């Protein structure tokens, strides 16, 4: 009864986000799915800055879905810079390393 030990594995992105065009105020989802052992933690970056989701900011309109996708309850587009338009990447990390997805642009119509 010798079971082979499952070896830890560095993260890899198995589903990359793709560009989306969304109307202001509509919901949107940027897909990301990562694999690894242990399961990697996923973070999102927009234009190089970390995206806060409702895990850090309970009132946020952005949620990190269980699989790692980023869900926008409603896409914000304002003149004061509080808007969601930009270039996003998802980054998956565990103790063996990290993997970064391809860039995906969110455009607000």
- Full domain range(s) for residue 101: 9-108
Which band of pLDDT confidence, cut at 50, 70 and 90, is reported for residue 3? low
In a domain? residue 81: yes
DSSP state of 68: S
User: For the domain that residue 48 is a member of, what is the CATH number?
Assistant: 2.60.40.10
In-domain check, residue 4: no
How many structural domains are present in the chain? Answer: 1
Q: Who has greater pLDDT, 11 or 77?
A: 11
| Per-residue pLDDT, 2 | 65
Give domain status of residue 37, yes or no.
yes
Residue 54 belongs to some domain of the structure: yes
Show Cβ contacts of residue 68 under 8 Å, excluding neighbours closer than 6 positions: 32, 33, 34, 42, 90, 92
In a domain, 88, yes or no: yes
Binning pLDDT at 50, 70 and 90, where does residue 1 land?
A: low
Of 13-17, 56-60, 70-74, 76-80, where does mean pLDDT reach its minimum?
A: 76-80
């Amino acid at each position: 009864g010798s079971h082979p030990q499952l070896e830890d594995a560095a993260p890899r992105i198995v589903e990359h986000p793709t560009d989306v065009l969304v109307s202001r105020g509509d919901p949107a989802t940027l897909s990301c799915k990562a694999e690894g052992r242990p399961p990697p933690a996923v973070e999102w970056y927009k234009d190089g800055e970390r995206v806060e989701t409702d895990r850090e900011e309970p009132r946020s309109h952005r949620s990190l879905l269980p699989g790692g996708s980023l869900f926008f309850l409603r896409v914000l587009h304002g003149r004061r810079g509080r808007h969601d338009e930009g270039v996003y990447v998802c980054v998956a990390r565990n103790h063996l390393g990290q993997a970064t997805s391809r860039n995906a642009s969110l455009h607000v119509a």
